């Protein structure tokens, strides 16, 4: 409990500082998730927190499942389906680019990386098809060590946000791109019309709401964990472990609940509770890591750049097939690489009124993420072992 209290206070401190105006630019450049992971790594290196603790054995199976369940319950699948075929096709193309690009990049660099590097790449594929929650889920599924996770978090930040900067810069060339490729820009207006009735309702979280969210989340996490113990591991090396089975159960169950009135829990903060659990879990993972592992990051950065290049190539081919405007190329890419935090920003740069499209495309990528990243992890295991 002392370790948990310290890490909880550290995470709270990071997010409190991120909300202060004087630190806004700092956290715009380096998002809170990076501090949440690396500060516990520094405290362990300094001997403040332990590298092993019974706490970590508890947080991994239960806080992760708690977070994923509440995040999936919050998904508005009907609104995503109203995005239209072009938007959904480009999100899927971006996901395919990540699934293909990871194994190719690993094949080029594996002789220069540690033997377990493929597990780090698998975790990164989860981040690049949906975000931090998927990264942690896949890391636990394939047994990514904290040392292997450190460098890929660096790649996720440096390459991911660098790529976001490139996409924003390309907005100035979208009309030239659309003319040269004969893009069907009517698809943008059609998508915007489909989302005209999209509503976003939020209410303050009451005591009743908080108790229901915690009860649902923890009961669902325990039920999924216990059910997964009845199922056999799959693969050699193991790709679908019992942890993976638990993740698949809780994600699929959460999506099914999102079609019921349970989705209204998002109006009172379901995803906020989910992300709180996720960041507490990530702090515990960071506390187990070795700071020296991050020194391997330069090679990982080069591999990440190759991976992004392959992802872009697949998107450009897909755009050519359906005559998609550059808007859908950029937003489809960032919906995967950056997730819900970044995709609306990129979408808004290209077309200010289309930021909600970026958000929903990111959520679509998040749904694909857990399944697509497991497929990518399997391919990476074939290359890396």
Q: What is the pLDDT of residue 238?
A: 55
> What is the rounded CA–CA span in Å between residue 46 and residue 358?
41
Portion of the chain with pLDDT greater than 70, in percent? 88
Q: Rounded mean pLDDT of 250-274?
A: 86
The model scores a pTM over 0.75: no
Q: Rounded mean pLDDT of 189-205?
A: 62
How far, in Å, are 22, 134, 281 from residue 62 at the CA level? 36, 15, 9
Q: In this model, does residue 380 exceed pLDDT 90?
A: yes
Phi, psi of 240 (to 5 degrees): -105, 90
Q: What is the pLDDT of residue 199?
A: 47
**pLDDT, tens digit (0-9, with 9 covering 90-100), for 1-49:** 999 999 999 999 999 999 899 988 888 777 787 788 789 988 988 889 9
Q: What is the pLDDT of residue 338?
A: 78
Q: Mean pLDDT in the chain?
A: 83
Q: What is the pLDDT of residue 352?
A: 66
Q: What is the pLDDT of residue 45?
A: 83
Burial class (CB in 10 A: 0-12, 13-18, 19+), 322: middle
Banded model confidence at residue 295, pLDDT cuts 50, 70, 90: low
Q: What is the pLDDT of residue 316?
A: 94
Residue-wise DSSP of 155-205: HHHHHHHHHHHHHHHHGGGHHHHHHHHT--THHHHHHHHHTTT------PP
The single-letter DSSP state of residue 115 is: T
Q: In this model, does residue 298 exceed pLDDT 50?
A: yes
Banded model confidence at residue 384, pLDDT cuts 50, 70, 90: confident
**pLDDT, tens digit (0-9, with 9 covering 90-100), for 46-88:** 889 998 888 888 887 788 889 888 888 877 777 767 767 888 8
Burial string for 213-244 (b: 16+ CB within 10 Å, else e) reads beebbbebbebbbeebeeeeeeeebebbbbbb
Q: Rounded mean pLDDT of 269-284?
A: 86
Give the residue, 368 or 252, on which the prediction is more confident.
Answer: 252
Give the residue, 223 or 81, on which the prediction is more confident.
Answer: 223
Q: Give the contacts of 360 (CB within 8 A, at least 6 positions apart).
A: 76, 79, 80, 83, 87, 195, 198
**pLDDT, tens digit (0-9, with 9 covering 90-100), for 123-179:** 999 889 877 778 888 888 888 888 888 888 888 878 887 888 788 888 888 888 888
Q: In this model, does residue 339 exceed pLDDT 80?
A: no
């Amino acid at each position: 409990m002392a370790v948990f209290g310290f890490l909880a206070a550290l995470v709270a401190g990071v997010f409190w500082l991120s909300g202060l105006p004087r630190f806004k630019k700092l956290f715009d450049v380096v998002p809170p998730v990076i501090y949440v992971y690396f500060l516990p790594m520094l405290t362990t290196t300094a001997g403040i927190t332990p590298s092993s603790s019974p706490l970590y054995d508890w947080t991994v199976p239960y806080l992760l499942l708690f977070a994923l369940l509440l995040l999936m319950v919050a998904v508005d699948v009907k609104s995503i389906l109203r995005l239209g075929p072009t938007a959904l096709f480009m999100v899927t193309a971006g996901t395919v680019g990540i699934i293909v690009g990871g194994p190719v990049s690993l094949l080029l660099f594996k002789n220069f990386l540690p033997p377990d590097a493929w597990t780090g790449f698998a975790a990164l594929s989860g981040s690049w098809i949906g975000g931090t929650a998927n990264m942690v889920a896949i890391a636990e599924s394939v047994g990514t060590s904290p040392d292997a996770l450190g460098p890929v978090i660096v790649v996720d930040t440096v390459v991911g946000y660098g790529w976001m900067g490139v996409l924003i810069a390309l907005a100035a060339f979208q009309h030239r791109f659309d003319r040269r490729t004969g893009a069907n820009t009517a698809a943008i207006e059609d998508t915007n019309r489909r989302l005209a009735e999209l509503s976003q309702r939020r209410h303050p979280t009451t005591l009743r709401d908080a108790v229901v969210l915690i009860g649902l989340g923890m009961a669902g996490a325990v039920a999924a964990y216990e059910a997964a113990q009845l199922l056999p591991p799959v693969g050699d090396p193991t790709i679908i472990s019992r942890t993976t089975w638990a993740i698949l159960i809780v994600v699929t169950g959460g999506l099914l609940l999102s079609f019921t009135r349970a989705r209204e829990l998002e109006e009172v903060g379901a995803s906020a509770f989910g992300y709180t659990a996720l960041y507490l879990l990530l702090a515990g993972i960071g506390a187990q890591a070795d700071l020296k592992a991050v020194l391997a990051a330069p090679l990982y950065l080069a591999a990440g750049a190759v991976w992004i290049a392959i992802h872009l190539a697949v998107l450009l081919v897909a755009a050519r097939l359906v005559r998609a405007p550059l808007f859908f190329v950029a937003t489809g890419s960032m919906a995967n690489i950056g997730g819900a935090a970044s995709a609306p920003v990129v979408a808004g740069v290209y077309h200010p009124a289309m930021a909600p499209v970026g958000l929903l495309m990111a959520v679509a990528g998040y749904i694909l993420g857990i399944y697509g990243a497991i497929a990518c992890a399997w391919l990476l295991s074939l290359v890396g072992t």
